[in-house]
Amino acid sequence: SEAISILDPMMAKMLIASEKYKCSEEIVSIAAMLSVNSAIFYRPKDKIIHADTARKNFFALGGDHLMLLNVYKQWADSDFSTQWCYENFIQYRSMKRARDVREQLVGLMQRVEMDIVSNPTETINIRKAITSGYFYHIARLSKGGNYKTVKHNQTVMIHPNSSLFEELPRWIIYHELVFTTKEFMRQVSEIESKWLLEVAPHYYKPRELEDSTNKKMPKTIGKSRAELGEN
């Protein structure tokens, strides 16, 4: 089935971790949206400003994964309306596919007797579950203001369509890399480096996760822990 074919090992690990972090309802929606990731918003040439404004209305503190969750939840609240998609410059066919994939994933999770629970306000737990699956896909802000992947020191950039494009958080997780003129990270969220020691201690060593950025960086570069939602 389509659900099984999209279940790459990282996505499967994210879904399994969602039970531990008690946010499986949210993670299964995010997984379904990631399966159609590039085809959700559209920008008609004559309505670019309207389309961009509509997209920004879905932005969420924490990044693109939570934005995708917002889109799915609001569409579900509209009773899966085609009109809602039209008004928000969202591709109805992509959303319908995400809904189908979500139903199949929920079926898979029920078959293996996973608890499907909702915890929409625990956005840190949601991002920890994502990090549990995609811990290979980590980049950090370097002193020069560029992002480098942690393990391979490869220079990568946040995709211009990302809700974090102008934010520059210190540590980020991405769903995939796409190469156009440069190596771009798509579907990006902000994380705390210490989460990596919690979810992947076999893969990361503490010294790899020491902050390489200047502590006195401008406010727009590298957000504080308070802004991330931690005390």
pLDDT in tens, 41-67: 999 999 999 999 999 999 999 999 999
- Answer yes or no: do 113 and 8 share one domain: yes
- Answer yes or no: do 97 and 141 share one domain: no
* Residue 211 pLDDT: 67
- Answer yes or no: do 22 and 52 share one domain: yes
Judge whether 154 and 207 are in contact, CB under 8 Å.
no
Q: What is the pLDDT of residues 136-191, one digit of tens each?
A: 999 999 988 899 999 899 999 999 999 999 999 999 999 999 998 889 999 999 99
Q: How far is CA 15 from CA 5, 129, 223, in A?
A: 15, 8, 28
- Answer yes or no: do 16 and 64 share one domain: yes
Question: What whole-number distance in Å separates Cα of residue 21 and Cα of residue 28?
Answer: 13
- Answer yes or no: do 94 and 166 share one domain: no
- Answer yes or no: do 217 and 104 share one domain: no
Using DSSP's 3-state secondary structure scheme, residue 211 falls into coil
CATH of the domain at 113: 1.20.120.1080
- What percentage of the chain exceeds 90 in pLDDT? 74
- Answer yes or no: do 219 and 167 share one domain: yes
Judge whether 145 and 191 are in contact, CB under 8 Å.
no
> Computed over its alpha carbons, how large is the radius of gyration of the chain?
17
Structural domain of residue 196, as residue ranges? 136-228
Residues 191-208 have a mean pLDDT of 93
| Res. 208 pLDDT band, cuts 50 70 90 | confident
- Answer yes or no: do 31 and 85 share one domain: yes
Give the distance, in angstroms, between the CA of residue 159 and the centroid of all CA atoms in the same chain. Answer: 13
User: Which residues have CB under 8 Å from 103's CB, separation 6+?
Assistant: none
Judge whether 27 and 18 are in contact, CB under 8 Å.
yes
0.75 cut: is pTM over it?
A: yes
The answer as to whether 131 is a domain residue is no
- What percentage of the chain exceeds 70 in pLDDT? 87
Task: Look at the chain and report how many structural domains it folds into.
Answer: 2
